Amino acid sequence: MSGTAPEYILAVESSCDESAVALVQNGREVIAERVASQTALHATAGGVIPEAAARAHHEQLPHLLDEVLDEAEKAGVREKISGVAVTAGPGLIGSLIVGTGLASAWAWGRGLPLIATSHLEGHFRAAWLTRSGVGGGGRLPAVALIVSGGHTLLASISASGEQKLLGTTIDDAAGEAFDKIARLLGLPYPGGAALSALAAGEKPGGARLALPIAQTRGSLDFSFSGVKTAAARLALEAIGVDPSAPGRAAALQRQLEERPVPPEARVRIAAAAERAIVAALAARVRTALEAHPGAMLIVGGGVAANGPLRAALTEVATAAQREIAIPPIHWCTDNAAMIGAAAHAAVREGRADLLDPAKGIRPAASWTFGSIAPS
Ligand code: KG4
Ligand code: ZN
């Protein structure tokens, strides 16, 4: 059952620590968009505090909505808005409630339909977004790799939009692994980009550290807790602490805070960790492409900003003679334009209905990739 999707969709995203609103035409053309990041708010705690995130969404979203509507007015399309999309999951439940509440109220006030949208589908549909001639490389069928602080998943999407989960992480997400290892090395949260910058300083030619990555035999699942543990052992050794000595993780982390890892060892550990994570991602993508002839490769999520990962995946795609689409960074990280794109596709391809906002929607902290909106 496929449907006619609204042409101009106002989209709201608030699943984690980015508040965002956008206006997207035909699921592709970004007319206006705003993102307010809460990174600074959560940096001191070393992670996202759900209560603080929800409060910040509550403060930020109305301003972002105003700004997007002002821009829509200037573009002469404000009155053409014909549907409202909102991330209904997966994510932090308090944050989702703030976004879905705002979107429902705004849609109800204007008599517009609501589209409950998957955050994960948003990440892979970001490859369809365009603005001023930038972006828009996505097409089906595709294999999608979504790698962020909260998610690591590999999926296939058929020519008609049918989605199948091929693999996911059995422990930490890829971005989470980057962040945890960065923390061991004394870098502030979220440390993925800083860890990568540190790793880039590794001198060429010298002996390189190699970290193991758990094998998830016979499946396309990922596991990153092993690389984190191995990096922690190297960090402790570098400050002269016996890593096999009994001690809780928190106590070991405190030792690393008191006695930072020397600069040269930091670089080598960062480089080894990055290599191990990138190799694990690239290997699974290679296998997935082999199993899906004709599929292009789409990459999304904040970790897609990682230079060595982009290079490795480009190499994998080129070797398999496939196209690759990695959206510009601001559409790889959490944003609302991708929710507008995903909502349009989900209605068009019959996976989502146009909902009556008066009936309300129920956000869900977990939402399996490819399934219809949870009710
Ligand atoms: O998609 P995103 O903005 O937020 C969610 O987690 O949903 O992704 C953020 C994640 C963080 O874990 C961050 O450390 C990681 O992406 N990240 C990177 C890089 N830039 C951001 N990881 C590795 N290398 C990077 N250059
Ligand atoms: Zn995300």
pLDDT in tens, the chain (375 residues): 577 999 999 999 999 889 999 999 999 999 999 999 888 787 777 778 888 889 999 999 999 999 999 999 999 999 999 999 999 999 999 999 999 999 999 999 999 999 999 999 999 999 999 999 999 999 999 999 999 999 999 999 999 999 999 999 999 999 999 999 999 999 988 899 999 999 999 998 888 888 887 777 778 999 999 999 999 999 999 999 887 776 667 777 788 888 999 999 999 999 999 999 999 999 999 999 999 999 999 999 999 999 999 999 999 999 999 999 999 999 999 999 999 999 999 999 999 999 999 998 999 999 888 777 765
Q: What is the pLDDT of residues 151-166, one digit of tens each?
A: 999 999 999 999 999 9
| CA atoms of 345 and 334, how far apart (whole Å) | 18
Helix 307-319 to helix 263-291 angle (10° resolution) is 30
Q: Structure pTM?
A: 0.93
Protein residue closest via CA to atom 10 of ligand 1 = 149
List helix spans (H) across the chain: 39-43, 50-74, 93-110, 119-125, 174-184, 192-199, 225-238, 249-258, 263-291, 307-319, 329-332, 337-348
Nearest one of 45, 86, 58, 87 to 179, comparing CA atoms: 45
Tell me which DSSP letter residue 111 carries. Answer: T
Residue finishing a domain among 276, 301, 322:
322
Distance (angstroms) between ligand 2 centre and the Cα of 86 equals 14
Distance (angstroms) between ligand 2 centre and the Cα of 327 equals 14
One domain for residues 99 and 233? no
Asked whether 16 lines ligand 1 (CB < 6 A), one says: yes
Would you give the distance in Å from CA 101 to the centre of its chain? Answer: 23
One domain for residues 99 and 204? no
One domain for residues 30 and 160? no
What is the predicted pLDDT for the residue at 326? 97
Phi first, then psi, for residue 226 (nearest 5°) are: -65, -40
Counted domains in the chain: 2
- Show the domain range for 99: 8-139+330-359
Beta partners for residue 312, in sequence order: none
Nearest one of 196, 229, 199, 234 to 214, comparing CA atoms: 229
One domain for residues 233 and 353? no
Tell me which DSSP letter residue 44 carries. Answer: T
